[in-house]
A and B are shown apart, each in its own frame.
Chain A
Amino acid sequence: MSANNEPNIVAFLCNWCSYAGADLAGTSRVHYPSNVQVIRVMCTGRVNPLYVMNALQQGADGVLVSGCHPGDCHYMEGNYYARRRLGMLKDLMEFVGVDPRRFHMSWVSASEGHKWKEVVEKTVEDAREAGSFEGFRRRQIDW
């Protein structure tokens, strides 16, 4: 989290829907929080749960994974796999004590620029409420 209490968010967006959706939000001049660092992946199905862990370890206060609506996956079924896996990950992280507000998943299609804005606002708001996640940072260099 930066000095002015702005959370860092890492977002993994699928190439075909959510990335295009976020693009549309930009070209349509929809304003949304600038805390999000977008990483484009080909499909949410290739988001390794360790990406989420590593993002949190390396300084993210919240992580968002967003892809095509069920049934719309460019690769037919990638988002179904992602839904199952990341749903499990969310449960596991909650059990370990990672605030559930730090991890979100959403379906945003290429035409949903406004939904993208809502999703980002919600993610940032939640991460801000959850606060800085210093406890899990990798950079706890102790002598």
Chain B
Amino acid sequence: MSAMLLNKEKWPDFVGKLTGKQLWAPQIKDEQLRFAPVAEGEEPALDYKNTRVPPKNVVFPQTETLFRFQVDGEEVDEPKLDEEVVLLGVRPCDARSMVIVDKLFSWDYDDPYYARRRELVTMVGLACSEPGLNCFCPSVGGGPASTEGLDLLMVDLGENYLLEAITEKGEALINETKELLEETRDANLEQKEKVINEAAQKIKRSIDPEGIPVGLPGLWEDSLWQRVSASCLGCGTCTFLCPTCHCFDIQDETEGFESRRCRTWDSCMFEEYTLHTSGHNPRPSRLERTRNRINHKYNYYVDKFDVIACVGCGRCINLCPVNIDIVEILKQVKEAL
């Protein structure tokens, strides 16, 4: 796979070339950084740590119509998914999260909607040179320049971006924009190593997950769950903003005779999530729900797919309104083992 240089002066042209396709990139909208479609002439904001909401809604929209139908009809009308999307400026952790979620959506049953959207997306990553305060990706198998899930990785080398193709899709993207790119020199590759090493040095938080997946079942009745869940509000901030959280709810929405079946994100932190028709709730309080969140990420998922369902992006720590800190919880878990 090839590696090329893109001078930052040519950046607008590079973006211009891509806007022919549906281009999503971080942009500041309503004073907030988020992934949004880039219109012609607009420029993505790349000087950022990470977006508040992960780009997972590009492949797994918060609300997705599965099909439409008439209540008295016999036909269903399915969505046509054929628009190619380029996701520009994805952080390596968010790209990695998609690889992790892929395992679930292609497990016992292939989810056609998710699979199709995944096929249509080209992921152009941007390695972190200034990691955030709560990043801990190296602890869970990632890194500031991890290429997992990416088609193309960009590394900021000051004056230039280094573009490295990871997959065929990435290679194709390089070919498309060839006239804007320059050949790399050995010095560039050394510079890249330096940037990445420096970034890794800047990551302050860490946990050692060794022993946690096997140890968690033994802590089922431990008092630590009471301690860490006491302040939980039961809101969905941590799960909705988590790049690997993938739970959904399916509803039929009917207006008159027109109906659609849609799926929306759901959160295991909601009381309604496990509520049975009978009124019984197997996870009746915030304690069980918090325990489930940690267990799902660090135990069940590891059991099933051999990977921790947490990429260490730190969003749940940043935005929890009551400072429930997953690193602290895991430290307590380690102590209790």
Binding site for B on A (CB under 8 A): 58, 138-139, 141-143
* Beta-carbon contact of B65 and A138 below 8 Å: no
Residues in B whose Cβ lies below 8 Å from that of A143? 65, 79-80
- How many pairs, one residue from A and one from B, have CB atoms within 8 Å of each other in the complex? 13
- For the complex, give the distance between the alpha carbons of A141 and B260 in Å: 8
Number of interface residues of B (CB under 8 A): 8
* Beta-carbon contact of B255 and A58 below 8 Å: yes
* Beta-carbon contact of B258 and A139 below 8 Å: yes
- Per CB-CB distance, the 5 closest pairs between chain A and chain B, nearest first, are A143-B79, A139-B255, A143-B65, A141-B260, A138-B255
Residues in A whose Cβ lies below 8 Å from that of B258? 139, 141
Residues in B whose Cβ lies below 8 Å from that of A139? 255, 258
- For the complex, give the distance between the alpha carbons of A58 and B260 in Å: 15
Residues in B whose Cβ lies below 8 Å from that of A58? 255
Q: What's the nearest-Cβ distance from chain A to residue B142, in Å?
A: 33
Is B68's beta carbon under 8 Å from chain A?
Answer: yes
Known: A141-B65, A141-B258, A143-B65. 9 other contacts (CB 8 A): A58-B255, A138-B253, A138-B255, A139-B255, A139-B258, A141-B68, A141-B260, A142-B65, A143-B80
Residues in A whose Cβ lies below 8 Å from that of B260? 141
Q: What's the nearest-Cβ distance from chain A to residue B62, in Å?
A: 12
Residues in A whose Cβ lies below 8 Å from that of B253? 138
- For the complex, give the distance between the alpha carbons of A138 and B256 in Å: 11
Q: What's the nearest-Cβ distance from chain A to residue B211, in Å?
A: 46
* 13 A/B residue pairs, CB under 8 Å, sorted by A: A58-B255, A138-B253, A138-B255, A139-B255, A139-B258, A141-B65, A141-B68, A141-B258, A141-B260, A142-B65, A143-B65, A143-B79, A143-B80
Q: CB-nearest residue of chain B relative to A143?
A: B79
User: Restricting to B246-260, which residues have a CB under 8 Å from any CB of A?
Assistant: 253, 255, 258, 260
Q: CB-nearest residue of chain B relative to A142?
A: B65
Q: CB-nearest residue of chain B relative to A138?
A: B255
- For the complex, give the distance between the alpha carbons of A39 and B332 in Å: 59
User: Restricting to B114-148, which residues have a CB under 8 Å from any CB of A?
Assistant: none
Most buried by B among A58, A139, A142, A143: A143
- For the complex, give the distance between the alpha carbons of A138 and B253 in Å: 10
Residues in A whose Cβ lies below 8 Å from that of B68? 141
Q: What's the nearest-Cβ distance from chain A to residue B133, in Å?
A: 36
- For the complex, give the distance between the alpha carbons of A58 and B257 in Å: 12
Residues in B whose Cβ lies below 8 Å from that of A141? 65, 68, 258, 260
